[in-house]
Structure formats: C-alpha cells, structure tokens
Amino acid sequence: MKKKFIFTDRYQALGIPYPNPETMCKGPCEGTGFVPCKKDDNAPFRALWSKAEKKHPSDDGWHFVKCPDCNGIGKRKEVIFDDKTKT
C-alpha cells in the first residue's frame, strides 16, 4: 500500500495560524518557521535532516526543520528587528 500525504497545507498540518504576508519570512518556510525535508534533499536541508534524524528518527522519512532564513521564527529578519526597537 502506498503512503499518502493528506495535508491540506502546512499551516493546518502544523496547527498554526496563517502568516501575515507583510511580515512572513521570505525563505523556504513560507512564514511557518519550519521546512519539511527528507533525506535526499539538497543542502542545507540534507544536514538539517540528518541532525533531526539523530534526535528523533522519523517514521515516514520526513522532518520539519527550522528554516535557515529565519531560524524557526517565520518572520523576516527586518521585521523582528523592528519589533525589538519599538517600545
């Protein structure tokens, strides 16, 4: 039997709210802060996958790894910086 992925989208799959298009990360995470990857993905995801696999071996070969662009925050760096400077 083939394995089926029945996610409607990754926001529902992760149970997180839809990102604000004004502030969301422009990297591969699309505002979620995490990127799904598998063993044979290209760098840097191959290395991130191996790290995740060492910690918690995956049942289906997939891991959600922290986005290398925003480090798992899901927002653009300049937005994060702006937030910190506001009082």
Binding residues for Zn ion, rule: CB under 5 A, are: 25, 27, 29, 67, 69-70
Q: How far is the CB of 80 from Zn ion (least distance, A)?
A: 11
Closest CA to 80 of 62, 67, 61, 64: 67
Closer residue to Zn ion (CB): 23 or 38? 23
Instruction: Specify whether the backbone of 71 is left (phi greater than 0), alpha (psi in -120 to 50) or beta.
Output: left
Which CB, 29 or 48, lies closer to Zn ion?
A: 29
How far apart are CB 69 and Zn ion at their closest, in Å? 4
3-state SS class at 40: coil
Q: How far is the CB of 33 from Zn ion (least distance, A)?
A: 6
